[in-house]
A and B are shown apart, each in its own frame.
Chain A
């Protein structure tokens, strides 16, 4: 009989979103919490009785009692689901107080896996967990799985947290998980966490990604994976299931004079205005525009922004090109023209520092805005 489960990770409950506007923070935090119910629902929809959390259920080893208690309550409330949880690098076993309290607050359907030893999930299905004892374990915690004995004919499912490739400067390279761990440990499926985007490493090895995004780096909405394994040795069937509420978009807009800004924005932004409320946009504008076009872009952004949960225009890499008739818009002559030309010369003076040029360009744009505002 096929075994079905949901693979998720990196819920990062308790994340404060301190860099977000105050009114948005609460919505983002709430969305994180709601993802527990959405995972449970995804399991039901998939006909699964198990949800595997591959680390980083919590954002820190010291979340508030409210976050911890409500998570425990929400998971326990989904009594038809068994939750299998390993601590990740953010909420490693060093958080003794966290896990002791959490276990005390959870019902029997929530299983915290503290030790790297086989656990029977159900008849003929064995889970091989690799909980993180500390934030930087310094070793491949899945190594033991290769030698782990399980009953003949049982499904072997691995559950681990960490990278198979380096994820950045802070990454603990000594703890890399071999990409072929599923093969060497005879696993039917290796459920990985830590990577916030959904990522397939092999036919039997996947990162589920976070069910609710918290940054623009991984665009779109969060996912979990619905996994079905028909029997020992059978190839797992893996289906992404959308769980995220907020859609994080970081489109890049390469601009040049003459670009139809309205059309470009329409192309990048969702047309359903009602849906925009749950969309966060970080528009990265690059290239260069004429002064009037830049103002038009800012106007367009200003008009569109209130529809969205967040609309952040990043125009650090967007330069402004000034032609003589651009300055005519400020003044055809006289002192205003003189000031505008002085600022334009400064903005284009390669002898000056980049910061000074940036200030001069911004001052010129500001002058035009002031003149335009009348």
Chain B
């Protein structure tokens, strides 16, 4: 929105119409001295926008001129792309109250409709809109007394808070959140668990208690139904058991069973008597048979024994003859065997003699061979000793190596001496060769000749040249010579060459010695003593007596004699076995005869008790026939009894069962009565407790409690969801607001304090602290001027936010920065100029000199025609 003109009539001192026009889109400044009417315009303009034409409160009354009249304000402005004109007239007389609104020259609303339409354009503070906060009166807090809006917005920061509320939901949001929290607090703890004694816990406890009660009642019901069913069964059973017919039936059954058993027992006794008679007759018959068989046996044995005696006698006679012939053949065999044994002994003696003669001849040959080898070995041993002695007279290789080394040392010493000594060399001219001599010997040309102490050269045809030289140091030569000399003396040699010869000789002797030792080893591998021992162990040769048989012949004769002896031994053994067999056979025949004679004697003794065996036998057979007849009769009678016998076991079992049935029926009846009494008692108790009715009621109550619990849970879920949605929306709005205000405010603040940094409370949206020059200060402790400046800057920042949201509203200042000193006011002018680039800023001030530097569009109050 942008104001273009304002006209007043009957407003305070302006009874006649006055007007300010020429408002521009940016900064507009009306600078005039006090009492000029600036605040009148401010208040009238504010009333036009925010006070209903029907009102006549103290705000309106304050506008009425002292002379009376109805205040009238006409404002022209641009908004939503249209040109608007507003007229308001307040009056104590209802008929004079008026409001009109034109859009692009057309009257579009009057009176209340005009107020409503204007509210829609402005979003006044009473509707949560922000426009009112941009009206800044004198001083920091603009506490013009009276007026609902002023009271509601005690200072500029509170106005900002109003906008924050509009964005974050404000009091309605807080109320809604508080309501959610209060509801949830009735049911839940801070950690979300059911609260002790809270509605949720009570509902849970109620459901739990009713569930337990229902389960208990169901159990009771089941138990009751089981008891009832059991009682029905027991009653049926008791009725069946205890009926008189049942008693009579059981008694009759017992009596009948008893009669059956007694009949069976009587018959059983008869059967047993029959069995005894049959046994007795059987024994009698068996006795007759036994006696007949015994007597027949004795008679047969007597005849048989006599026959055996005769047979045994004939056998003894036959075996005696056989035995005598066998003994004669045995004697003949023994004689032949003795002869053969003696022949074997003779042949063995001859063989031993032949073997001894053969061994003596072999020993004599060996003895002669050993004697020869012992002699030759003795000779070789002497030669070896001699050679070893010869070798000991010559030097050993190590000695020669030592001498050769000392000789080399001496040679080196001499060469060193010569190299260090003075020397001469001669180069002969052609034809002069050999004309220079030393000690008579021509001196070789082209060669170096050392001079150790001095020398004399004879120069043929010239004279003698004597060369003197200092005595060279020959200590090393002398030392080497002494060492060599000492070594030669120790080796017993005169020269190194003699030593070399000695070693050569030694090596020849050693070769010969090795050959002699090899020969000796061949003759006596184990030494000479071994040869001698073997030689001495051999027997001296002796002469044999008589003819010595040939060994092979003697061996053949001995083998033949052995074969003859074996055959004789075999014949002897056969004869001896045959003799033993005939003797055993004879013995057995003699024993058989003795046994037969004994049997005959025993048979005769047995027959002695039966003077007339035939009669005895006849009597026994008669008795046997009688017993057989009696037994057959008894057996037929027994078979007839058995065929008709009742089952005694079955009769006994039936009797036992009948007695048991009677007893158990009696016991069961007694038990059933007791059990029924107990059941009746229990059923009566439970039935009187109306368990089923109680269960039905409890199930209904449980259903109701579960429904209640479900409703509470649902309500909790609803409030939790609502609380989350509200909190999330509020947090987002606050973050958005704080960021926007901070973004707009920061450049304005830094126009005043280059390093300033505001701290905006996310909950309230207010500036709580500000950091300047590195120090943080609470807003409340800042000076009045600084608070005033910050407050104005916040409004300007906020106006920019509104403009960017498509809700541009003019910032109207009525001596708003009175506490700001002249130095600081320049920066504030810069801030106003900066923000007025896309905002309309209207400044009323009495500080003519200071505000002359503000710039902007200069406004003036002029006389006007009728306001409408």
| Interface residues of A, Cβ cutoff 8 Å to B | 14-20, 59-65, 67, 94, 96-98, 101, 331, 333-336, 338-339, 342-343, 358-360, 362-364, 366-367, 370-371, 374
In the assembled complex, the Cα of A342 lies from the Cα of B699 at a distance in Å of 41
Please tell me if the beta carbons of A14 and B718 are within 8 angstroms of each other in the complex.
no
| Interface residues of B, Cβ cutoff 8 Å to A | 166-170, 172-173, 175-176, 179-180, 221, 224-225, 228, 231, 683-684, 686-688, 690-704, 707, 714, 717-719, 721-722, 725-726, 728-730, 732-733
In the assembled complex, the Cα of A363 lies from the Cα of B721 at a distance in Å of 7
Q: Which B residues lie within 8 Å of A331 (CB)?
A: 169, 172
Known contacts A343-B722, A370-B175; A62/B167 CB under 8 A: no
Closest to B166 in A: A334
State how many angstroms separate the Cβ of A103 from the closest Cβ of chain B: 14
Closest to B171 in A: A374
Please tell me if the beta carbons of B176 and A336 are within 8 angstroms of each other in the complex.
yes
State how many angstroms separate the Cβ of A216 from the closest Cβ of chain B: 14
State how many angstroms separate the Cβ of B614 from the closest Cβ of chain A: 100
State how many angstroms separate the Cβ of A193 from the closest Cβ of chain B: 19
Closest to A98 in B: B687
Please tell me if the beta carbons of A371 and B176 are within 8 angstroms of each other in the complex.
yes
Q: Which A residues lie within 8 Å of B692 (CB)?
A: 60-63
Please tell me if the beta carbons of A15 and B717 are within 8 angstroms of each other in the complex.
no
Count of CB-CB pairs between chains A and B under 8 Å: 132
Partner of A335, one of B169, B231, B690: B169
Interface-central residue, A59, A335, A364, by most chain B CB under 10 Å: A335
Partner of B704, one of A19, A339, A367: A19
Known contacts A61-B692, A362-B718; A18/B697 CB under 8 A: yes
State how many angstroms separate the Cβ of B101 from the closest Cβ of chain A: 22
Q: Which A residues lie within 8 Å of B170 (CB)?
A: 334
Please tell me if the beta carbons of A64 and B719 are within 8 angstroms of each other in the complex.
no
Q: Which A residues lie within 8 Å of B224 (CB)?
A: 62
Q: Which A residues lie within 8 Å of B696 (CB)?
A: 14-16, 18, 59-60
Please tell me if the beta carbons of B728 and A19 are within 8 angstroms of each other in the complex.
no
Please tell me if the beta carbons of B726 and A62 are within 8 angstroms of each other in the complex.
no
Please tell me if the beta carbons of A18 and B703 are within 8 angstroms of each other in the complex.
yes
Please tell me if the beta carbons of A97 and B684 are within 8 angstroms of each other in the complex.
yes
Partner of A16, one of B225, B697, B714: B697
Known pairs A64-B694, A97-B687 / 6 extra A-B pairs, C-beta < 8 Å: A17-B700, A334-B166, A334-B167, A342-B725, A343-B721, A363-B719
What would be 17 A-B contacts, judged by CB atoms less than 8 Å apart?
Answer: A14-B690, A18-B698, A18-B700, A18-B704, A20-B700, A60-B693, A63-B693, A65-B688, A67-B693, A94-B225, A96-B231, A335-B729, A336-B173, A359-B714, A363-B719, A363-B721, A364-B722
8 closest pairs, A vs B, by CB? A18-B700, A16-B697, A62-B692, A64-B690, A60-B692, A97-B687, A18-B701, A339-B729
Q: Which A residues lie within 8 Å of B729 (CB)?
A: 335-336, 338-339, 342
Dominant SS among interface residues on chain A = helix
Please tell me if the beta carbons of A14 and B688 are within 8 angstroms of each other in the complex.
no
Dominant SS among interface residues on chain B = helix
Q: Which A residues lie within 8 Å of B733 (CB)?
A: 334-335, 338
Q: Which A residues lie within 8 Å of B721 (CB)?
A: 343, 359-360, 363
Partner of A363, one of B166, B228, B698, B718: B718
Q: Which A residues lie within 8 Å of B714 (CB)?
A: 358-359, 362
Q: Which B residues lie within 8 Å of A334 (CB)?
A: 166-170, 733
Q: Which B residues lie within 8 Å of A62 (CB)?
A: 221, 224, 686-687, 690-693
In the assembled complex, the Cα of A96 lies from the Cα of B231 at a distance in Å of 10
Closest to A68 in B: B690
In the assembled complex, the Cα of A246 lies from the Cα of B176 at a distance in Å of 41
Please tell me if the beta carbons of B687 and A16 are within 8 angstroms of each other in the complex.
no
State how many angstroms separate the Cβ of A271 from the closest Cβ of chain B: 31
Interface-central residue, A17, A101, A336, A371, by most chain B CB under 10 Å: A336
Please tell me if the beta carbons of B168 and A335 are within 8 angstroms of each other in the complex.
yes
In the assembled complex, the Cα of A65 lies from the Cα of B714 at a distance in Å of 41
State how many angstroms separate the Cβ of B722 from the closest Cβ of chain A: 4
Closest to B221 in A: A62
Known contacts A18-B703, A334-B168, A339-B728; A96/B228 CB under 8 A: yes
Q: Which A residues lie within 8 Å of B168 (CB)?
A: 334-335
State how many angstroms separate the Cβ of A284 from the closest Cβ of chain B: 16
State how many angstroms separate the Cβ of A94 from the closest Cβ of chain B: 6
Q: Which B residues lie within 8 Å of A371 (CB)?
A: 172, 176
Known contacts A335-B729, A359-B718, A366-B718; A14/B704 CB under 8 A: no
Please tell me if the beta carbons of B717 and A335 are within 8 angstroms of each other in the complex.
no
Please tell me if the beta carbons of B693 and A370 are within 8 angstroms of each other in the complex.
no
Partner of B176, one of A64, A358, A367: A367
In the assembled complex, the Cα of A37 lies from the Cα of B684 at a distance in Å of 29
In the assembled complex, the Cα of A370 lies from the Cα of B733 at a distance in Å of 20
Q: Which B residues lie within 8 Å of A14 (CB)?
A: 690, 693, 696
State how many angstroms separate the Cβ of B318 from the closest Cβ of chain A: 115
Q: Which A residues lie within 8 Å of B173 (CB)?
A: 335-336
In the assembled complex, the Cα of A60 lies from the Cα of B702 at a distance in Å of 18
Interface-central residue, A338, A358, A362, by most chain B CB under 10 Å: A338
Please tell me if the beta carbons of B703 and A19 are within 8 angstroms of each other in the complex.
yes
Interface-central residue, A65, A334, A358, by most chain B CB under 10 Å: A334
State how many angstroms separate the Cβ of B245 from the closest Cβ of chain A: 23
State how many angstroms separate the Cβ of A325 from the closest Cβ of chain B: 14
Closest to A338 in B: B729
Q: Which A residues lie within 8 Å of B683 (CB)?
A: 97
Q: Which A residues lie within 8 Å of B228 (CB)?
A: 94, 96
Known contacts A331-B172, A359-B721; A338/B699 CB under 8 A: no
Please tell me if the beta carbons of B704 and A67 are within 8 angstroms of each other in the complex.
no
In the assembled complex, the Cα of A63 lies from the Cα of B693 at a distance in Å of 5
In the assembled complex, the Cα of A112 lies from the Cα of B338 at a distance in Å of 145
In the assembled complex, the Cα of A61 lies from the Cα of B225 at a distance in Å of 10
Known contacts A18-B697, A60-B692; A342/B728 CB under 8 A: yes
Q: Which B residues lie within 8 Å of A98 (CB)?
A: 687
Please tell me if the beta carbons of B687 and A367 are within 8 angstroms of each other in the complex.
no
Interface-central residue, B175, B692, B694, by most chain A CB under 10 Å: B692
In the assembled complex, the Cα of A343 lies from the Cα of B691 at a distance in Å of 49
Q: Which A residues lie within 8 Å of B702 (CB)?
A: 18
Closest to A370 in B: B176
State how many angstroms separate the Cβ of A56 from the closest Cβ of chain B: 13
Q: Which B residues lie within 8 Å of A17 (CB)?
A: 697, 700
Please tell me if the beta carbons of A336 and B704 are within 8 angstroms of each other in the complex.
no
Interface-central residue, A19, A61, A331, A370, by most chain B CB under 10 Å: A370
In the assembled complex, the Cα of A359 lies from the Cα of B718 at a distance in Å of 5
State how many angstroms separate the Cβ of B222 from the closest Cβ of chain A: 13
Q: Which A residues lie within 8 Å of B698 (CB)?
A: 18
In the assembled complex, the Cα of A99 lies from the Cα of B270 at a distance in Å of 67
Closest to B704 in A: A19
In the assembled complex, the Cα of A364 lies from the Cα of B729 at a distance in Å of 14
Q: Which B residues lie within 8 Å of A97 (CB)?
A: 683-684, 687
State how many angstroms separate the Cβ of A91 from the closest Cβ of chain B: 9
Q: Which A residues lie within 8 Å of B221 (CB)?
A: 62
In the assembled complex, the Cα of A331 lies from the Cα of B167 at a distance in Å of 10
